């Protein structure tokens, strides 16, 4: 569990920060690098401190792909750590690519929807603050839904932290917008009077959620169907209760998982023995070749001597 939790947590950190950070870069490029920020300063403070920190902690503390009893029945599951299946460069680059894709989708959809089309019922278009708030809302939804899809095990604490983070964003937006304009600035009544009454704001959030989670759904469907890992197979066995219906198959799989493996100090000793054995084999091969060459040379010398005596 510890290896998988830490690996998934670090990869998710890459994903969520790339998703958020690249939207800032895209907007700067879109505005000709004018220096104008798309998000309010308070949004930048809340993103990593409040709105996305607690779900990551829940992933690193409570996540487990299979139960502890199943882990003891299948010792081969512990080989995923030494094999580094969850923190290799393929996995890291995949999460980074997913973050780049999500940032492009979020920025592109929000710019395309809010930039030139009417936003309010009176026909007005959205200003930069409304578009930035809507875009930030899409980011909060996307990264929190993504971490929910990543988890295999849920408790009420994880549900409270993930969905509570999203709910906290709306509460903050409503309360902060009620403050005097000297404090709230352009966010004054942003949610209550501008965003919430507009159906396009809610529809955009749903569209972004569906679009940003599509690559992960495609990846996990392909992997579970065509190239499942050990814990994927065990999860399906336990979910469909195949271990109860087919006891013989369950016993066979457990016996396969109990094959003798070497980890840690034993593995290093075994690798050293194989290395020394390889060196001895190479030396033996070299000596065999040299002895063969010596035999050929001796035979040639004897033939030459006998020819001389005969003459």
Segments making up each domain of the chain, as ranges:
2-257, 265-311
Phi/psi at 86 (nearest 5 deg)? -110, 0
Of the CA atoms within 13 Å of residue 188, those in its CB half-sphere come to 8
Residue 198 has pLDDT above 60, yes or no: yes
Length of the chain: 311
Q: How many CB atoms lie within 10 A of CB 108?
A: 14
What confidence score (pLDDT) does residue 211 get?
A: 94
pLDDT in tens, 85-130: 778 888 899 999 999 999 999 999 999 888 776 666 666 777 888 8
Confidence of residue 74 (pLDDT cuts 50, 70, 90): low
d(CA 46, CA 51): 6
Confidence of residue 168 (pLDDT cuts 50, 70, 90): very high
Q: How many CB atoms lie within 10 A of CB 5?
A: 17
pLDDT in tens, 211-267: 999 988 888 888 778 877 766 667 676 666 655 445 555 555 555 555 555 444 555
């Amino acid at each position: 569990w510890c290896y998988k939790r830490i690996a998934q947590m670090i990869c998710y950190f890459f994903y969520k920060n790339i998703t958020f950070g690249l939207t800032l870069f895209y907007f700067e490029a879109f505005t000709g690098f004018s220096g104008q920020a798309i998000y309010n300063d308070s949004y930048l403070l809340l993103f990593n401190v409040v709105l996305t920190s607690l779900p990551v902690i829940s992933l690193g503390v409570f996540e487990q792909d299979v139960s502890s009893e199943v882990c003891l029945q299948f010792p081969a599951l512990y080989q995923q750590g030494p094999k580094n299946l969850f923190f290799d460069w393929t996995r890291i680059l995949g999460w980074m690519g997913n973050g780049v894709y999500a940032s492009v989708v979020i920025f592109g959809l929000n710019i395309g929807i809010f930039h030139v089309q009417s936003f309010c019922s009176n026909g007005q278009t959205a200003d930069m603050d409304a578009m930035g708030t809507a875009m930030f809302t899409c980011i909060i939804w996307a990264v929190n839904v993504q971490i929910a899809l990543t988890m295999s095990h849920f408790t009420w604490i994880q549900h409270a932290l993930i969905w509570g983070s999203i709910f906290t964003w709306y509460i903050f937006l409503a309360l902060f917008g009620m403050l005097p304009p000297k404090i709230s600035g352009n966010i004054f009544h942003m949610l209550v009077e501008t965003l919430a009454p507009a159906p396009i704001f809610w529809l955009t959030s749903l569209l972004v959620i569906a679009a940003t989670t599509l690559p992960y759904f495609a990846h996990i469907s392909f992997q579970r169907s065509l190239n499942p890992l050990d814990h994927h197979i065990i999860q399906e066995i336990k979910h469909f209760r195949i271990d109860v219906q087919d006891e013989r198959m369950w016993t066979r799989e457990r016996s396969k998982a109990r094959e003798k493996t070497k980890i840690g100090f034993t593995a290093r000793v075994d690798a050293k023995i194989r290395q020394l054995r390889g060196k001895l084999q190479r030396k033996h091969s070299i000596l065999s070749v040299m002895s063969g060459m010596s035999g050929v040379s001796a035979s040639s010398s004897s033939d030459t001597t006998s020819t001389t005596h005969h003459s």
